């Protein structure tokens, strides 16, 4: 049987299958289906310094090949997580990644600092958030924004630090390089693509917030391309995500340059999707005589 273990920024994962932030909550609901110890890791629901109610509904809309969401980072706040969710999570036997969001650099720093002394294994920065001090421009859409939040958090957080990159940029290799130079230990990519759906009868956007993040199978080719480009540019590990819904997708993402993968939207329609993907990946490795899943990372062959 092939070796599924991977090491990312000094953190050991029993397998490369991680559930994506915003799609798995804190794992309690999914634990009713299977032991969370079967997963390589969980990227928790995005946490902010204080609790948030999120955006008004409607905030989810189905599209061809995916879904749009404008949930708005609804979460109970970092202190609630530390007190009420983390003790339970620590008993589940899987790597815990705390996803951190904010409206200012100080928000990110203070939230990450509070998590630094806890039992989480990694911090994942969600930089696809509007910077209120810069006119609402997302941190993740400029190299300067990426550098500012990453370097500031790096100074105040000793946990392994991963930066989740936005695809809504002209060149994702530039923002990946900015994260690396600012002290990130890894990058995860891609976050959702900005999209919109209009009700032709009411002539209004379906989402109350007008636009939302597109995820699901439709975004996979974009995600694979961006991971492939970033792998050629940066030396730090990449966790690939975006549209992975079957085991073949995970193999494709690994070949493009990912060291591990995150699965999100697929689990909404099938809670067992992460385990099915993991099982298919293992069979692929065994059938092809591949001893370790790490051998797939970046192994795609370019045409001459």
Residues catalogued as catalytic? 129
The answer to whether the bond into 283 is cis (omega within 30° of 0) is: no
Nearest to 172 by CA among 198, 193, 197: 193
Q: Report d(CA 15, CA 93) in Å as an integer.
A: 12
H, E, C per residue of 172-217: HHHHHHHHHHCCCCEEEECCCEEEECEECCCCEECCCCCEEEEECH
Cβ atoms of 156 and 109 within 8 Å: the answer is yes
Say how far apart CA 152 and CA 85 lie, in whole Å.
26
Q: Which sign does the torsion angle of CA 60, 269, 89, 279 carry?
A: negative
ω before 130 within 30° of 0 (cis)?
A: no
Q: Which two tokens stand for residue 162?
A: 């991963």
Residues near 171 by beta carbon (within 8 Å), at least 6 away in sequence: none
Burial 132-147 (b: 16+ CB within 10 A, else e): eeeeeebbbbbbebbb
């Amino acid at each position: 049987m092939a070796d599924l273990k991977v090491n990312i920024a000094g953190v050991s994962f029993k397998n490369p299958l991680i559930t994506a932030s915003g799609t798995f909550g804190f794992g309690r609901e999914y634990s009713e289906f299977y032991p969370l110890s079967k997963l390589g890791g969980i990227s928790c629901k995005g946490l902010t310094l204080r609790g948030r109610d999120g955006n008004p509904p409607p905030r989810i809309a189905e599209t061809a090949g995916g879904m749009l969401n404008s949930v708005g980072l609804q979460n109970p706040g970092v202190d609630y997580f530390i007190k009420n969710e983390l003790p339970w999570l620590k008993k589940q036997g899987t790597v815990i990644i705390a996803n951190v969001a904010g409206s200012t650099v100080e928000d990110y720093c203070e939230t990450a600092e509070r998590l630094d002394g806890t039992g989480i294994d990694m911090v994942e920065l969600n930089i696809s958030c509007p910077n209120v001090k810069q006119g609402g421009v997302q941190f993740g859409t400029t190299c300067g924004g990426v550098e500012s939040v990453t370097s500031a958090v790096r100074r105040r957080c000793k946990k392994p630090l991963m930066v989740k990159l936005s695809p809504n940029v002209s060149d994702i290799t530039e923002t990946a390089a900015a994260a690396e130079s600012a002290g990130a230990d890894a990058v995860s990519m891609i976050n959702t693509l900005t999209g919109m759906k209009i009700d032709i009868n009411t002539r209004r956007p379906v989402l109350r917030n007008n636009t939302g993040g597109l995820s699901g199978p439709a975004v996979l080719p974009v995600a694979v391309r961006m991971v492939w480009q970033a792998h050629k540019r940066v030396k730090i590990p990449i966790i690939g995500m975006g549209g992975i819904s079957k085991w073949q997708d995970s193999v494709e993402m690994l070949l493009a340059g990912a060291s591990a993968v995150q699965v999100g939207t697929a689990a909404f329609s099938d809670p067992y999707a992460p385990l099915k993907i993991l099982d298919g990946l293992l069979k692929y490795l065994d059938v092809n005589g591949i001893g370790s899943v790490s051998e797939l990372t970046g192994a795609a062959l370019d045409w001459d």
